[in-house]
Amino acid sequence: MTATNVILFDQAWTRFESWLAAHSPADHAALRPPATAAEISELEMQLGFALHPELRRLLERRNGVVEPESSSGPGPGVFPAGSILPLGHRLSTTSEIASMHEILVEVGEDNTEAELWDEEDLAGHLHLCVPFALPNDGGVAFVDHRPGPTYGHVYEMGIGSGDLDGTLWGSSLTEFVRAVTDALESGNPFMYYWPATFEHASGRTCVAWEIHS
């Protein structure tokens, strides 16, 4: 992984944020400030290995999103700004990443002990999968940290529904962010998730993703 890869990620992420700022300012405002070097170091210590450079750079740009309550405004209910990725995934903070990684480790250990997965199966290596975004339904989006050809791949896994096969969302975070931004700019789907707009009772709007099979 070279400095060029990180530069390409920066370009992709800047383009993504620029779209949010122009078309969904409430979602853009929900992005948290960068993680500190100390927060990232603490996360790596808890994981037991170094972060993929693109994931590290994502955290250096944004340390997750604020809680929905923090984005609420005038009018009834909670304004759900920040669910900016397909399936309503919200970027995770360093502390949320560490907590979810612990859960992934436990799930992986349970599967290994039960001998449910072959050695090459993704579910048998969840201790090397680092989550970066979570939806509301028990799923998780993560970056594969296994050494080899899948290093840096982005997957989504529906752990809450018992689906541990994982769906490839991109060969890298850069590719994933580019594809999501392409969908937002064009109105075309990312895989089978179509970008849409959710209008809150307060009159504000935010990004939503609709599933079209």
What is the distance of C-alpha 67 from the center of its chain?
A: 15
Residue 75, domain member (yes or no): no
CB 103, CB 142: distance < 8 Å: no
Residue 107, domain member (yes or no): yes
Please state, as a whole number, how many other Cβ atoms lie within 10 Å of the Cβ of residue 41.
Answer: 13
* Entry pTM: 0.90
| Residue 93: predicted pLDDT | 98
- Average pLDDT of the chain is 88
Q: Tell me which residue range forms the domain holding 42.
A: 3-67+80-211
Residue 73, domain member (yes or no): no
Residue 74, domain member (yes or no): no
Residue 31, domain member (yes or no): yes
Range of weakest confidence among 59-63, 81-85, 100-104, 106-110:
106-110
Residue 129, domain member (yes or no): yes
Q: What is the largest CA-CA distance in the chain?
A: 52
Q: Provide the pLDDT confidence category of residue 70 given band limits of 50, 70 and 90.
A: very low
For 40-55, the pLDDT digits (tens) are 999 999 999 999 999 9
Residue 100, domain member (yes or no): yes
Dihedral of the CA atoms 146, 127, 118, 151 (nearest 10)?
-10
Residue 99, domain member (yes or no): yes
For 141-150, the pLDDT digits (tens) are 999 999 999 9
For 184-204, the pLDDT digits (tens) are 999 999 999 999 988 877 778
CATH of the domain at 33: 3.40.1580.10
Q: Which helix (H) or strand (E) holds 47?
A: helix 37-47
CB 46, CB 127: distance < 8 Å: no
In the Cβ-directed half-sphere of 24, how many Cα atoms lie within 13 Å?
29
In the Cβ-directed half-sphere of 33, how many Cα atoms lie within 13 Å?
3
Start-to-end C-alpha separation, the chain: 35
Distance between CA atoms of residues 213 and 210, nearest Å: 10
CB 190, CB 179: distance < 8 Å: yes
Cα angle 182, 185, 190 (rounded to 5 degrees) comes to 40
What's the structural domain count of the chain?
A: 1
